[in-house]
Amino acid sequence: GGVIVIIPSFVVFFSPDVDLSRSRGGGGGSFNYGYIEGRPITRDEFLPVYREVRLDYFLSTGKWSVSEESVQRRLEQTALNRVLLLRKVKEYDIKVSEKAVARRAKQQLGGLAVSRFNSEILKPNGYTESEYATYVRHQVALDQLFDLASTSGRLVNPREAEMLFRREYENV
């Protein structure tokens, strides 16, 4: 065999039958989008991250509309994974500078002014400049997280990876 790169603390399992359309836990606004390391993913945590994923989808495809169910499910799964990664950013206390955020925004927008991007793209699609800034800040933080993980990651064989996964998440 082959080898795979795995970082056990970043491995997460989400059941394919996670229902994102209705409340779990009996109403009263108690939404549950799954669990990560025994902690529930709440509606208040999931929805802003899902909006970031939709924004990212637009930036990479040029399309806001998501009509295919398979694309919708992929975006939902991506949002769940992003929640995990953003929790890791917080756990590792990763901070990003405003300079790094501005540099990434300028790189993403090319020659387009932020004010024009806001008025012609964000606002008409229900997004704010603040949401875009948060999205960019999170992208930069995730890059730093991945850099950190790549320097501390190690190669393991599939059997060892499965064993590590089971040990790490046997209580989930």
Bridge pairing between strands 4-6 and 154-156:
antiparallel
* Distance separating alpha carbons of residues 62 and 45, to the nearest angstrom: 26
| Secondary structure of residue 35 in the 3-state scheme | strand
Query: pLDDT of 57-95, one tens digit each?
Result: 999 999 987 788 999 999 999 999 999 999 999 999 999
d(C-alpha 136, C-alpha 158), whole Å: 34
Structure tokens at 95: 């901070």
Supply the pLDDT for residue 167.
62
Residue 66: the pLDDT is 79
Residue found under tokens 């040990």: 167
Q: Which residue's entry shows tokens 């359309």?
A: 21
Q: What pTM did the predictor assign?
A: 0.71
Please give the structure tokens belonging to residue 142: 């995730």
Q: How far apart are the first and last CA of the chain?
A: 29
